[in-house]
Chain A
């Protein structure tokens, strides 16, 4: 694990000598195990639901483990659109394009912005940072209507840009990255410049490697937002071909309340939506916590 942890682990060892197997710690561990079992139950449920054949989906009381796991639900999911113009693979493709594009663009743009904000004291930098901090308190969702107007006037409706561009400016991302760039000593940058490095080289060779944990964190967060985003499909895309997978899933569940049909497909889709998030989070998890150590607002 990363540096901040080693110290802490040491502390634990020291402490556990003092309170060796104290009742308190056993109690806490038990409590946490119970709680996480509760929190994870939906996860287990999603996994098994996706593999249950129809006769098991509606068994009462519900079985936690599928008795006869099958891929029937996934086949159904991919067959739903067989008589429609837009196949389900198109939605998945759109989602992938949007998610990858927004991860790349968001991390690059935020890192580019965070570096000068932290290290160049250009005129107006204070003002820019103050504005970014202020908008961090606002949710862009609250101003959907003007956003809709802006997107329609820019003429990016029904394009991938309509999905990606509204999500590019993430104040939290710039804030987290700036906190990281602040850690880089000025002398290091200065000496690189003395050696004739251009600003862009300094950025690529020194700044980016140092802020990699923050880049990973922002990457995860923007992937999660983009992958699960339904809003841009409903608002900015009239063309069915440009809508994304979560939107497609939401149309499946729209008439679910009183019907049995498509439950299996929904279960499969839910798993499909969840897996990428889980994998990406697991891979970069330690980076996330390292980044969050610098998240404080002073």
Chain B
């Protein structure tokens, strides 16, 4: 680009220099043309974004009102899918929905609180140690799915030689081996424990950084203002000054718990899980989408799940959103 071109560009970044002679539309077009380079910059992302996120979400919305089996063209059936979901789909109403709620309500907040507490505990240690403790807490997220099969399966195995069972038997806590992952009474508990173990993810790192960046003068000021215990310190100083990071962590926690689906099947080694005790909405979607090929109904289910995520996020926004304060 020559120098004169650059000057044209420069004018582009000082808005308000155009003469308002033509209509609003042509003005807008001119404005858009002036920022053509900006659009070029965001183009690669926006193209992928449109194809793999926006279009699928819109598609899911549209498909949810149709009956579609991937062979015949989709047939519009109005609200029938949703009506079936809330009145006829017993698997969904009896297992998937309550299980998802139970799982999300326990694993989500607990994992979130644990992340915050651990981040806080790590933050009061000397700087040299922090790195290693942070790594230790984050390591389950690094291991991902592999750890599940190699560590948790032998640990929770239902026979006498499962590590947990044999330990409990030896110490006399239980008389018979407990089927941790293959009975309907314990599968959910095992799922929640394993999820908690791996819940120190990106949100945990964000909160750790947030705590470390709280202005130290605030603590001094707090001490002068009569803050006595560390609990008060957390409540009145730490949390208010890291609200943005708390919100980011919350968003990550919500998305993480709602999109969980494979864990029940992985742990129990059965699909569907024993008596549907670990059946989550995601399993129901996969079930309808990839086994029964009722793509329309599966889409309706995913729209419902998206709505759930959105509402819980809105709820957290209420809690942590910074409007006006600070």
List residues of A whose CB falls within 8 A of some B CB. 1, 4-5, 7-12, 14-16, 24-25, 28-29, 31-32, 35-36, 39-43, 45-46, 49, 60-62, 108-110, 112-113, 115-117, 120-125, 128, 131-132, 135-147, 149-150, 154, 165-166, 168-169, 171-172, 174, 190, 193-194, 196-199, 203, 221, 224, 228, 230, 246, 249-250, 253, 256-257, 266-267, 269-270, 273-274, 277-278, 281-282, 285-286, 288-293, 295-298
In the complex, the answer to whether B259 meets A112 with C-beta atoms within 8 Å is no
In the complex, the answer to whether B121 meets A281 with C-beta atoms within 8 Å is no
Do A165 and B52 form a contact, CB below 8 Å, given A39-B139, A123-B35? yes
Given the complex of chains A and B, what is the CA–CA distance between A295 and B252 in angstroms? Answer: 11
In the complex, the answer to whether A196 meets B6 with C-beta atoms within 8 Å is yes
Given the complex of chains A and B, what is the CA–CA distance between A40 and B219 in angstroms? Answer: 33
How many Å from the CB of B222 to the closest CB on chain A?
13
Given the complex of chains A and B, what is the CA–CA distance between A56 and B205 in angstroms? Answer: 37
In the complex, the answer to whether B147 meets A42 with C-beta atoms within 8 Å is yes
Smallest Cβ-Cβ distance to A252: which chain B residue = B149
Using an 8 Å CB-CB cutoff, how does the interface string of B28-57 with A read, 1 for contact, 0 for none?
100110010111011011101101111111
How many Å from the CB of A14 to the closest CB on chain B?
8
Residues of B144-190 contacting chain A, CB below 8 A: 144-147, 149-151, 153-154, 161, 163, 166
Interface membership of B289, Cβ < 8 A: yes
In the complex, the answer to whether A297 meets B251 with C-beta atoms within 8 Å is yes
Interface membership of B242, Cβ < 8 A: yes
Q: Which of A174, A197, A203, A274 contacts B146 (CB 8 A)?
A: A274
Q: Which of B60, B136, B286 contacts A146 (CB 8 A)?
A: B60
Given the complex of chains A and B, what is the CA–CA distance between A147 and B254 in angstroms? Answer: 22
Residues of B264-293 contacting chain A, CB below 8 A: 269, 282, 285-286, 289
Given the complex of chains A and B, what is the CA–CA distance between A117 and B46 in angstroms? Answer: 12
Smallest Cβ-Cβ distance to A138: which chain B residue = B306
Smallest Cβ-Cβ distance to A43: which chain B residue = B139
Given the complex of chains A and B, what is the CA–CA distance between A288 and B59 in angstroms? Answer: 35
**17 sample A-B contacts, Cβ–Cβ < 8 Å, listed by A number:** A11-B216, A42-B143, A112-B45, A116-B38, A116-B41, A120-B13, A122-B35, A139-B259, A143-B57, A143-B302, A145-B289, A150-B52, A168-B45, A193-B9, A199-B41, A282-B135, A285-B134
In the complex, the answer to whether B53 meets A171 with C-beta atoms within 8 Å is yes
In the complex, the answer to whether B216 meets A7 with C-beta atoms within 8 Å is yes
In the complex, the answer to whether A137 meets B309 with C-beta atoms within 8 Å is yes
Do A9 and B126 form a contact, CB below 8 Å, given A150-B51, A290-B209? yes
In the complex, the answer to whether B136 meets A39 with C-beta atoms within 8 Å is yes
In the complex, the answer to whether A142 meets B306 with C-beta atoms within 8 Å is yes
Chain B residues contacting A249 (CB-CB under 8 Å) are 146
Smallest Cβ-Cβ distance to B213: which chain A residue = A293
In the complex, the answer to whether A142 meets B63 with C-beta atoms within 8 Å is no
Do A32 and B121 form a contact, CB below 8 Å, given A150-B56, A169-B52, A289-B205? yes
Chain A residues contacting B125 (CB-CB under 8 Å) are 12, 25, 28-29, 32
In the complex, the answer to whether B45 meets A230 with C-beta atoms within 8 Å is no
In the complex, the answer to whether B216 meets A132 with C-beta atoms within 8 Å is no
Given the complex of chains A and B, what is the CA–CA distance between A230 and B200 in angstroms? Answer: 22
Interface membership of B138, Cβ < 8 A: yes
Using an 8 Å CB-CB cutoff, how does the interface string of B202-228 with A read, 1 for contact, 0 for none?
100110111011001001000000000
Chain A residues contacting B59 (CB-CB under 8 Å) are 143, 146, 149-150
Given the complex of chains A and B, what is the CA–CA distance between A230 and B261 in angstroms? Answer: 14
Chain B residues contacting A108 (CB-CB under 8 Å) are 44
Given the complex of chains A and B, what is the CA–CA distance between A42 and B285 in angstroms? Answer: 31
Given the complex of chains A and B, what is the CA–CA distance between A141 and B269 in angstroms? Answer: 21
In the complex, the answer to whether B150 meets A46 with C-beta atoms within 8 Å is yes
Interface membership of B310, Cβ < 8 A: yes
Given the complex of chains A and B, what is the CA–CA distance between A5 and B208 in angstroms? Answer: 11
Q: Which of A62, A132, A140 contacts B52 (CB 8 A)?
A: A140
Interface membership of B192, Cβ < 8 A: no
Do A120 and B35 form a contact, CB below 8 Å, given A135-B54, A150-B55, A273-B146? yes
In the complex, the answer to whether B289 meets A32 with C-beta atoms within 8 Å is no
Chain A residues contacting B49 (CB-CB under 8 Å) are 132, 135, 169, 171
Most B C-beta atoms less than 10 A away, residue of A9, A32, A197, A246: A32
List 15 additional A-B contacts (Cβ < 8 Å) besides A61-B163, A137-B255.
Answer: A16-B126, A109-B48, A115-B41, A116-B35, A147-B52, A165-B52, A169-B49, A197-B6, A270-B147, A274-B143, A277-B142, A281-B138, A288-B205, A292-B205, A293-B209
